[in-house]
Amino acid sequence: MKNRCEDCGNCCIETEMILSDQDIEAIVSSHKTTLRKTDFVQKNEDNFNQLKNFNGHCFFFDGETKLCKIYEIRPQGCRFYPLIYDSDKKSCVFDSECPRPELFYPNKNTVRRTCKKIISFLENQVIFSKLR
């Protein structure tokens, strides 16, 4: 078995990825004349900015190559993946759709550190959304 991501694209199927204002600005800035916020952002039921899906995949997923078209500037939540926050369990868990999460998070310390970052990221989104 190769010691790398399988590029299966499961992480990009029916995504519910929250987008920060910084994520949106970075993406729009990198596509100055070709992309508008409304092309790839929608509001979810909690009124947070969220990535749009197109044909069942993230707007930026390339179905042929199974790669991200904006990998270098991908949103913060995508950088945390496959570690996600489960609001029902009130803890971080690995997304069951990822076949090899251990490649990204090889030990418990890395998981703990990243989970703290995820929680901080989500708390900031809640605070900022209330200020709008």
pLDDT in tens, 23-73: 999 999 998 778 999 999 999 988 889 999 999 999 999 989 989 999 999
Cα 32 from Cα 55, distance rounded (Å):
24
| 5 occurs within a structural domain | no
| 107 occurs within a structural domain | yes
End-to-end CA distance of the chain: 48
| 3 occurs within a structural domain | no
With cut-offs at 50, 70 and 90, classify the pLDDT of residue 131. Answer: very low
| 33 occurs within a structural domain | yes
Average pLDDT over every residue of 106-115: 94
Cα dihedral 82→85→89→93 (10° resolution):
20
Number of domain units in the chain: 1
Identify the residue whose tokens are 């600005």. Answer: 25
Residue-level length of the chain: 132
| 1 occurs within a structural domain | no
What's this model's pTM, rounded to 2 decimal places? 0.84
